[in-house]
Chain A
Amino acid sequence: MQIDITHRPGNSAAKVSLQAGESITAEGGAMIAMSGHMQVETTTHKKGEGSVLGALKRMVTGESFFINHFTPAGAPGEVFFGTALSGDMMEYNLNGPGLMVQGGSYVASAPTVNMDIQWQGFGKALFSGESMFLIHLSGSGPVILNSFGAVYPIQVNGDYIVDTGHIVAFEESLTYEVSKVGKSWISSFLGGEGLVCKFRGQGTVWCQSHNAGSFGTALGPSLKPR
């Protein structure tokens, strides 16, 4: 499997070249183009293990109910993935510790990658402004993620603050808590930052440069009511 991400960072697409019989799993609706002999199988869970519960759990993260498995039959083939919002994509090779992915940022992964949903707890869910659930990826193999805006990695060693709405994914060696910015809660709210996520430990967190919610707030008032 060969993954090439093109048109970064504004209008990224991921081109996945597959050998005959090799598969890639992607979120429903992510495919934008593919070889004519590509076989598509739609399931509710990992290939070969249908699970409605798994699909329902995935839905609460903001992902689609169904996922698609792409396999070229008889000869090598390719498939392109894209997302609804313009922005960046990244490839991550899972090998060892798992990856926590913000709901909505998952695009595709190799069949050797396991996907599970993790509940963030009421406190984080209510206050972080992020989804109540995160996607937990484990196993080994490549993963494709997307973002609104450019993706930039931060190597955390100790504490680091990421504003809510800017998290794409983080290594599970990191923990986070919902917190204030700086020393004072008043400052944090008056300054429009409100609650932020404070990461702790050692590992990488990938941030998206832009906040889709802020863009929605800027554009929303100019749109007519439905």
Chain B
Amino acid sequence: MQTTIEGGSAFAYINVDLDPGETIIAEADAMSSMAADLDMDAKLNGGFFNGLAKAFLGGESLFVNHFTNNTNAARRVTLVQGTPGNTRAVQLNGQEYCLQPGAYIASTPGVTLGVKWAGFKSWFAREGLFKLSVSGTGTVWYGAYGGLLEKEVNGEYIVDTSHLVAYEPQMKLNIQLAGGLFSSLFGGEGFVTRLEGKGKIIVQTRSLSGLADWINPRLW
């Protein structure tokens, strides 16, 4: 399988060249174009209850699509997320990785998706009550609205609410005010997420809720 991420940080999309017999799994409606002789099967996102949990709690689709190359030559499928923004791939070798709801785009068959309770703190941080946990062996592609910043954290780090996209599972999340009461209420930052631990985090440079907050006062 050869994959490339094209389109720059503003409009990233994934070209997947499947060799004969290979399969890639993608969230519903991620396919933008594909060779007509690839097979596509919609399957429940990891069993009925697990699928339901992911759909209602993890911000993902109830069904995922399995694209399989049953021909005898390489075939291409092009995948993309619903919003403009950047896309990254993470390689899993048995470890776990945490994604924000809605960030998942695609994965290779050895990867398992699960939903985990993220806690009320996460919900206050506008990151959702649940988090998506990916584990197993293979590659996962995820994305967000805006560019993606990678940050190596050792100790404490603060991220504005609704900007956290992915993090390693050992990171602890806490919600707090951005500064003192005055600067938090009037400085435009409000609540922030405080991360503790040693590991990598991924932050999106824009947020959809930020865009919506900008547009809303201008609608009349």
Chain A residues with a Cβ under 8 A of chain B = 9-11, 86-88, 148-150, 152, 154, 158-163, 166, 181-184, 186-193, 198, 207-211, 214-215, 217-219, 222-224, 226
Closest B residue, CB atoms, query A194: B29
* Assembled-state Cα–Cα distance A184/B182 (Å): 59
Is A161 in contact with B35, judged by CB distance below 8 angstroms? yes
Closest A residue, CB atoms, query B38: A182
Task: Please name all residues of chain A whose beta carbon is closer than 8 Å to the beta carbon of B97 when the two chains form the complex.
Answer: none
Using A193-B28, A210-B11, A226-B219 as known contacts, say yes or no to A158 and B40 having CB atoms under 8 A apart: no
* Assembled-state Cα–Cα distance A67/B10 (Å): 30
Task: Please name all residues of chain B whose beta carbon is closer than 8 Å to the beta carbon of A10 when the two chains form the complex.
Answer: 8, 10-11
Is B36 in contact with A198, judged by CB distance below 8 angstroms? yes
Task: Please name all residues of chain B whose beta carbon is closer than 8 Å to the beta carbon of A210 when the two chains form the complex.
Answer: 11, 13, 32, 80, 83-84
Q: Mask for B38-53, Cβ within 8 A of A = 1, else 0?
A: 1111100000000000
Is A219 in contact with B211, judged by CB distance below 8 angstroms? yes
Using A87-B11, A187-B42, A223-B219 as known contacts, say yes or no to A211 and B31 having CB atoms under 8 A apart: no
CB distance from B32 to the nearest CB of A (A): 5
* Assembled-state Cα–Cα distance A214/B30 (Å): 10
Is A160 in contact with B8, judged by CB distance below 8 angstroms? no
- Known interface pairs A192-B28, A192-B63; 8 further A-B residue pairs with C-beta atoms within 8 A, sorted by A's residue number: A150-B13, A182-B40, A188-B42, A191-B28, A191-B29, A191-B64, A209-B11, A210-B83
Is A187 in contact with B41, judged by CB distance below 8 angstroms? yes
* Assembled-state Cα–Cα distance A198/B38 (Å): 12
Task: Please name all residues of chain B whose beta carbon is closer than 8 Å to the beta carbon of A207 when the two chains form the complex.
Answer: 32-33, 78
Using A152-B6, A182-B41, A192-B63 as known contacts, say yes or no to A160 and B33 having CB atoms under 8 A apart: yes
Task: Please name all residues of chain B whose beta carbon is closer than 8 Å to the beta carbon of A215 when the two chains form the complex.
Answer: 82-84
Looking at chain B's contact residues, the main secondary structure is mixed
Task: Please name all residues of chain B whose beta carbon is closer than 8 Å to the beta carbon of A188 when the two chains form the complex.
Answer: 40, 42
CB distance from B141 to the nearest CB of A (A): 14
* Assembled-state Cα–Cα distance A223/B219 (Å): 9
Q: Is B135 an interface residue (CB 8 A)?
A: no
Task: Please name all residues of chain A whose beta carbon is closer than 8 Å to the beta carbon of B35 when the two chains form the complex.
Answer: 159-161
Is B65 in contact with A9, judged by CB distance below 8 angstroms? no
Is A150 in contact with B7, judged by CB distance below 8 angstroms? yes
Closest A residue, CB atoms, query B34: A161
* Assembled-state Cα–Cα distance A188/B40 (Å): 8
Task: Please name all residues of chain A whose beta carbon is closer than 8 Å to the beta carbon of B63 when the two chains form the complex.
Answer: 190-192
Task: Please name all residues of chain A whose beta carbon is closer than 8 Å to the beta carbon of B181 when the two chains form the complex.
Answer: none
Is B29 in contact with A193, judged by CB distance below 8 angstroms? yes
Is A223 in contact with B212, judged by CB distance below 8 angstroms? yes
Q: Is B209 an interface residue (CB 8 A)?
A: yes
Task: Please name all residues of chain B whose beta carbon is closer than 8 Å to the beta carbon of A162 when the two chains form the complex.
Answer: 32-33
Is B33 in contact with A166, judged by CB distance below 8 angstroms? yes
Residue contacts A-B, CB under 8 angstroms, 13 given? A11-B10, A86-B10, A163-B32, A182-B38, A186-B42, A189-B42, A191-B41, A191-B64, A210-B11, A214-B29, A218-B82, A222-B216, A223-B212
Is A224 in contact with B219, judged by CB distance below 8 angstroms? yes
Task: Please name all residues of chain A whose beta carbon is closer than 8 Å to the beta carbon of B145 when the two chains form the complex.
Answer: 218
Closest 9 CB pairs of A and B: A192-B28, A191-B42, A159-B36, A222-B212, A10-B10, A182-B40, A214-B82, A190-B42, A192-B29
* Assembled-state Cα–Cα distance A68/B80 (Å): 35
Q: Mask for B135-146, Cβ within 8 A of A = 1, else 0?
A: 000000000010
Using A191-B64, A191-B65 as known contacts, say yes or no to A9 and B29 having CB atoms under 8 A apart: no
Q: Is B37 an interface residue (CB 8 A)?
A: yes
Q: Mask for B197-214, Cβ within 8 A of A = 1, else 0?
A: 000000000001101100
Task: Please name all residues of chain B whose beta carbon is closer than 8 Å to the beta carbon of A226 when the two chains form the complex.
Answer: 219-220
Task: Please name all residues of chain A whose beta carbon is closer than 8 Å to the beta carbon of B208 when the two chains form the complex.
Answer: 218-219, 222
CB distance from B81 to the nearest CB of A (A): 8
Q: Is B61 an interface residue (CB 8 A)?
A: yes
Closest B residue, CB atoms, query A183: B39
